[in-house]
């Protein structure tokens, strides 16, 4: 089981995580809930090994087994939608490109370039690229920013059907209500699931 125990992170005087604990099941969608600035991204970054906590431990997974979707899309304007996936997939998995694009409802857009995508389309491309990476845990930071609720719901259902282990952050109740379980980050200091 993937878990973190008693994580504390401060930036200067500011305490962002205070002895935070969490256990994640092997499959399903877990959502972190909390207002802007409460530490959702910080927790994802600690799990991914991008931020070192002042104390506490992460166990059951190594950063190399994690794929992360950052809050920024980080798309390349000179690579098409389809190329964003072939750039990260090994050649023997290029056959999966259409399935991944359909998962995020970009099936007809493989030859389009990022400047021609809407904000929500760009977000869905970044999500498809993240999901195309092999991983034991997918960390998705606000995966549905700019994506309408109905579409986000359909995409969540498809991700759930694939059995992908996902930890996502959101402050939108609509998105949180579609997760299998929700962990509040704005509650009491020690939380164990
Ligand atoms: N590298 C850093 N240096 C200083 N302060 C930071 C740093 N990273 C995060 N913080 C602060 O830590 C707090 C939590 O930030 P974090 O990005 O984790 O919040 P969040 O819950 O993900 O917010 P949002 O929903 O807006 O993305 C904020 O007050 C932020 O300013």
pLDDT in tens, 31-69: 999 888 889 999 999 999 999 999 999 999 999 999 999
Say if ligand 1 is within 6 A of residue 129 CB: no
Local confidence band at 187 (pLDDT 50, 70, 90 cut-offs) = low
Say if ligand 1 is within 6 A of residue 171 CB: yes
Residue nearest to atom 19 of ligand 1 (CA): 37
Judge whether residue 193 has pLDDT over 80.
Answer: no
Q: What is the DSSP letter of 93?
A: G
Q: What's the rounded Cα separation, in Å, for the pair 96 and 102?
A: 10
Closest CA to 104 of 136, 147, 41: 147
User: How far is ligand 1, taken at its centre, from the CA of residue 50, in Å?
Assistant: 13
Whole-prediction pTM value? 0.93
SS3 157: helix
Q: What is the mean predicted confidence (pLDDT) over 143-150? A: 94
Q: What is the mean predicted confidence (pLDDT) over 101-119? A: 97
Say if ligand 1 is within 6 A of residue 36 CB: yes
The ligand 1 atom at the shortest distance from the C-alpha of residue 171 is 25
Residue nearest to atom 27 of ligand 1 (CA): 36
Which residue stretches of the chain are H helix?
Answer: 40-47, 81-86, 97-103, 119-131, 149-161, 173-176
Helices (H) and strands (E) in the chain, counts: 6, 8
Local confidence band at 192 (pLDDT 50, 70, 90 cut-offs) = very low
Local confidence band at 1 (pLDDT 50, 70, 90 cut-offs) = confident
Express each pLDDT in 122-143 by its tens digit. 999 999 999 999 999 999 999 9
Say if ligand 1 is within 6 A of residue 89 CB: no
User: What ipTM score was computed for the predicted complex, to two decimals?
Assistant: 0.96
The ligand 1 atom at the shortest distance from the C-alpha of residue 51 is 1
Residue nearest to atom 30 of ligand 1 (CA): 37
Local confidence band at 173 (pLDDT 50, 70, 90 cut-offs) = confident
Residue nearest to atom 20 of ligand 1 (CA): 37
């Amino acid at each position: 089981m993937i878990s973190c125990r008693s994580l504390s992170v401060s930036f200067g005087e500011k305490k962002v995580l205070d002895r935070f604990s969490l256990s994640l099941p092997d499959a399903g969608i877990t959502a972190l809930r909390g207002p802007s600035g409460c530490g959702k991204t910080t927790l994802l970054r600690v799990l991914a090994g991008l931020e070192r906590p002042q104390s506490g431990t992460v166990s059951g997974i190594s950063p190399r087994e994690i794929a992360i979707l950052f809050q920024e899309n980080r798309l390349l304007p000179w690579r098409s939608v389809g190329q964003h996936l072939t750039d990260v997939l090994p050649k023997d998995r290029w056959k999966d490109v259409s399935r991944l694009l359909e998962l995020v409802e970009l099936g007809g857009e493989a030859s389009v370039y990022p400047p021609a995508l809407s904000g929500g389309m760009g977000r869905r491309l970044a999500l498809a690229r993240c999901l195309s990476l092999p991983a034991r845990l997918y960390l998705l930071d606000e995966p549905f920013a700019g994506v309408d609720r109905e579409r986000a719901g359909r995409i969540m259902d498809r991700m759930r059907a694939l059995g992908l282990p996902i930890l996502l952050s959101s402050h939108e109740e609509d998105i949180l209500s579609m997760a299998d379980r929700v962990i509040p980050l704005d509650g009491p200091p020690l939380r164990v699931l």
